[in-house]
Amino acid sequence: MCPECRGLIDRNATTCPLCGTRVRRPRARRSNEEINRIAGVIPIPGTATSTLIAVNIALFGISWYLSQAAADATAGPALGFGNLDPQVLVRLGAKSGRDIILYGQWWRLVTAMFLHAGIFHIGMNLWCLFDLGPMVESLFTSAKFIVMYLVTGIAGFLLSLWYRPGVASIGASGAILGLVGVLIGVSFHHGGLGKAYRGQLWRWVIYIFIFGLFFAVDNAAHLGGLVTGFLLGYLVPEGEPETRESEVVWSTLAVISVLIIAGSFALMALQLNQPLR
């Protein structure tokens, strides 16, 4: 795709035949069909997607362990993988309007993205991340993917904080709906093929929001992530950055995103043993 006029051109072209703009051949971009798949079906995650999956699984293991320890301390029944201790999840960084607004714990907007309430919750989210992550990472590069994932996840919890400040919520689904939004946004630049793919994505969005009407799902976080992702997918150019300057910008933004995530967990760890307010 020509970065200037957005026209579809030959992949090996060095000049756009439509507007005359010089284009650089993409270095590491793959289409959805070219994504490596296990047994031809399961997409193999890229580096950033694999790291996010690993962090989510690690936080789930920590949450489960601390939930068991809390149950043992109170002589309560042991908790299975189905439901974890809500108080433990709040300590580990759930989106809590009271703590964010009154005590300035804005890092919860980040840590909440990596926490899940049970095995079904994390299973559904990681299944979606496992499927959508490689597509977005392949289309936009790992650096852009990391930034998009963080921004859409935070945007989702910001809308949730405005709409339901008194309700604590967790989960990667806001960021995952953000990835859906990214794919919907970028599909507008791919003509008839994009229109057909967009129809499939919209059906998934409708199913998810209907599901949220009947279960304890934070649809506000879903909507915030979806809309933000759509804007990013529509506005951010696909593939490798076209200039050295833009490459530096995206690399810097990716590093900042990683530091924000690491710093948020560091702030969470500092207050982990403090009594809940």
Q: Is residue 11 part of a domain?
A: no
Among all chains, which residue has been given the structure tokens 């703590």?
A: 99
Count Cβ atoms within 10 A of the Cβ of residue 106 and give its class: 0-12 exposed, 13-18 middle, 19 or more buried. Answer: middle
- Of residues 114 and 203, the one with the higher pLDDT is 114
Number of domains in the chain: 1
First to last CA, the chain: 53
Q: Does pLDDT of 14 surpass 60?
A: yes
**Gap between the Cα atoms of 157 and 96, Å rounded:** 10
Q: Give the number of C-alpha atoms closer than 13 A to the C-alpha of residue 140, restricted to the C-beta side.
A: 31
Host domain of residue 256:
43-270
Lowest mean pLDDT among 36-40, 77-81, 92-96, 213-217: 36-40
Inter-helix orientation angle 173-187/142-163, to 10°: 120
**What does the pLDDT look like over 49-68, one tens digit per residue?**
999 999 999 999 999 999 98
Q: Is residue 21 part of a domain?
A: no
Please report, for the domain that includes residue 173, its CATH number: 1.20.1540.10
For the annotated catalytic residues, the residue numbers are 173, 222
Q: Does pLDDT of 268 surpass 70?
A: yes
Q: Is residue 249 part of a domain?
A: yes
